[in-house]
Amino acid sequence: MSNYKFILSGGGTGGHIYPAIAIANELKSRYPNAEFLFVGASDRMEMDKVPLAGYKIEGLWISGIQRKLTLKNLMFPFKLMTSLLRSRKIIKTFKPDVVIGTGGFASGPLLQMATAKGVPCLIQEQNSYPGITNKLLGKKVDTICVAYDGLEKFFPKEKLKLTGNPIRKDLLAVKGKHIEGKDAFSLIHSKHTLLVLGGSLGARRINELIEVNLDFFEEHNVQLIWQCGKLYYDRYKQHKELKNVQVHAFLNNMDMAYAAADVIISRAGAISVSELCIVGKPTIFIPSPNVAEDHQTKNALAVAEKNAAILIKESNLDNDFQKQFSELITNEEKQTELSKNIEALALVNATNDIVDEVEKLLKK
């Protein structure tokens, strides 16, 4: 039987959406006649991104709980009840064989109703420290695919499968394309190349750090591919006039940017960390302190504690950044060591392994 039906739910950020799309794509390659339905939050980016990937999506009226007392918090019980009822109707109408959650507001009510109806369910937890929704769902779902060791602290051990996070297939071919990557960005081959990543929207503190250190980078023979984010592009695009600085709102050819890099500065979102393990370049993580449960710091720590990356907290940047960067960029042995250690953490078959677990649920 290949005309299975799958519901996937994940959204709010690209870190939840793109893993869900990667899983759906792999399922579709194995079961071309299968039917797919995504469920997301009606006002979040998944409502645009999922249809662009070729899948149908339905939206729920749901949002997270704010950390302070707001009108949105007062509305939360009504949104939750509405979303639970809507989820029940979706499941009853679509009749999925398996439901897959990759995190985000909508996955909570959907998987809650799916487990209540006895539908086999799998969640894919991207972070080293799970959010509240997945912690609650972990008690009810059949399988929990994770990207880090040690999550038995949060989930039933017998349900855990260490698979890694789904990543873009083009990143698997980055190795050996260093010259091609530099040529793609018209870079000077004799200079060190620093790739700066702050996410699609951008990271204010990282952008400020890069701007004040432009002369410092020049002194160290460093050229920049600086992805400042679309929110900050107008503020920083003036620096494109500098000889060794490229400023981008976003990067469409990420594989070539990774290939060109000698050193990378990045936030520590779960998917970014997984990609950087695949890429295997010396990395300085500057985690965002403004995310739920401070999970970016925990993601970065999981790598840095294995001597596979450098972690600098935003609060320590003024004191520590120049010293740490100088020591890295002038020490090829240190660069090689970090590259070797971070690459050893890569889980390259994540998408296939997750879908293998989905197939096990189809046989239940």
Whether the CB-CB separation of 103 and 10 falls below 8 Å is answered with yes
86 is in an annotated binding site: no
15 labeled binding residue: yes
Please calculate the CA angle 300-304-308 and round it to the nearest 5 degrees: 115
The whole-angstrom separation of Cα 62 and Cα 65 is: 10
Cβ within 8 Å of residue 192, ≥6 positions away:
220, 221, 222, 223, 262, 263, 329
Let me know: does 115 contact 138? Beta carbons within 8 Å.
no
Which of helix, strand or coil describes residue 252? Answer: coil
252 assigned to a ligand binding site = no
Q: Cα 338–343–346 angle (5° rounding)?
A: 140
Q: Is 200 annotated as a binding residue?
A: yes
Residue with tokens 């994940």: 10
Query: Is 13 labelled as part of a ligand binding site?
Result: yes
The verdict on whether residue 14 carries a ligand-binding annotation is yes
Contact (Cβ atoms closer than 8 angstroms) between residue 99 and residue 119: yes
State both tokens at 363. Answer: 């046989």
Q: How many CA atoms lie within 13 A of 295 on its CB side?
A: 18
Rounded CA separation 266/286 (Å): 6
Binding-site residues for UDP-N-acetyl-alpha-D-glucosamine, in ranges, read 13-15, 127, 168, 200, 296
Binding-site residues, in ranges, read 13-15, 127, 168, 200, 296
